[in-house]
Amino acid sequence: ETGVTQTPRHLVMGMTNKKSLKCEQHLGHNAMYWYKQSAKKPLELMFVYNFKEQTENNSVPSRFSPECPNSSHLFLHLHTLQPEDSALYLCASSGEMNTEAFFGQGTRLTVV
């Protein structure tokens, strides 16, 4: 248990569906992140939020829409995804006092 919880753990969705991934951290951290982990590729940073404000969008397609209502919660809204978007989506958080980032277990997304 890392203190970062992601739901759902698994998600299968059609290309016309709308779904959301949720991340919650119980560590009192101020920064939260979304990463994408595809097969045979390194983890790719998607979005960075600091104190609820988005500070980084790493050229992510608009069919991925993040939302950070407070420093403890992070969402990733999904709309009209493509099969190549199938991947493990990881959430992480970090604080100002500790240097390491903590990752959640991830959501395994399959787009059919």
Chain residues binding another protein by CB under 8 A are 2, 4, 6, 31-33, 41-43, 45, 48, 50, 55-56, 90, 92-96, 98-106
Residue 5 or 17 having the CB closest to another protein: 5
- Which phi and psi angles does 84 have, rounded to 5°? -70, -5
What span, in angstroms and rounded, lies between the C-alpha atoms of 13 and 60? 19
Residue 14 or 28 having the CB closest to another protein: 28
Strands (E), the chain: 4-7, 10-13, 18-25, 31-37, 44-50, 53-57, 64-70, 73-79, 87-94, 102-103, 107-111
The minimum distance between CB 101 and another protein, in angstroms, equals: 3
Residue 80 or 101 having the CB closest to another protein: 101
The minimum distance between CB 24 and another protein, in angstroms, equals: 14
The minimum distance between CB 46 and another protein, in angstroms, equals: 11
